[in-house]
Amino acid sequence: MSNETYFFDTYAFFEIIKGSENYQKYVNSKVITTIFNLAELNYNLKKEKSKEIADQITKKYSSFAVKVLLEDIEEAMDLKVKNKDFSIPDVVGYIIAKRYGVKFLTGDEDFRNLDNVEFVKGGNKEAV
């Protein structure tokens, strides 16, 4: 169990939801995220599961969303211009994590070698 605070990107949320062994130590962490990551989570859950499950899980995590400032967007888009493979939700989240002084938790290969990233590949469970 971790008492640290982490920024959960959408990848991290999915690993937690699936019960991934590699993400178990983050289950009881303090968490921040953005509305953009919650939107991406909701969209993908609706595609994979159902509207009801997607909305229920999104609501469960909604209290973790922090405010995104215009300056965050501007800095994130500067980074995205340099790294076109980054998704907009993730690049905004990465900047938010830096602003809050917390690690950006992901298993997304695009972020593997960046500063301030806690890179963890997913595990093997698939249940929601």
Strand order of the sheet with strand 5-8? 30-32, 5-8, 103-106, 117-119
Q: Is the pTM of this model over 0.95?
A: no
Four-CA torsion 88, 82, 66, 34, nearest 10 degrees: 20
Residue 128 lies in a domain: no
Number of domains in the chain: 1
Give the tens place of pLDDT for each residue, 91-112.
999 999 999 999 999 999 999 9
pLDDT score of 44: 96
Residue 65 lies in a domain: yes
Residue 125 lies in a domain: no
* Domain containing residue 17: 5-119
Give the tens place of pLDDT for each residue, 61-91.
999 999 999 999 999 999 999 999 899 999 9
Residue 124 lies in a domain: no
CB atoms inside a 10 Å sphere around CB 54: 18
For residue 19, the domain's CATH number is 3.40.50.1010
Residue 98 lies in a domain: yes
Residue 127 lies in a domain: no
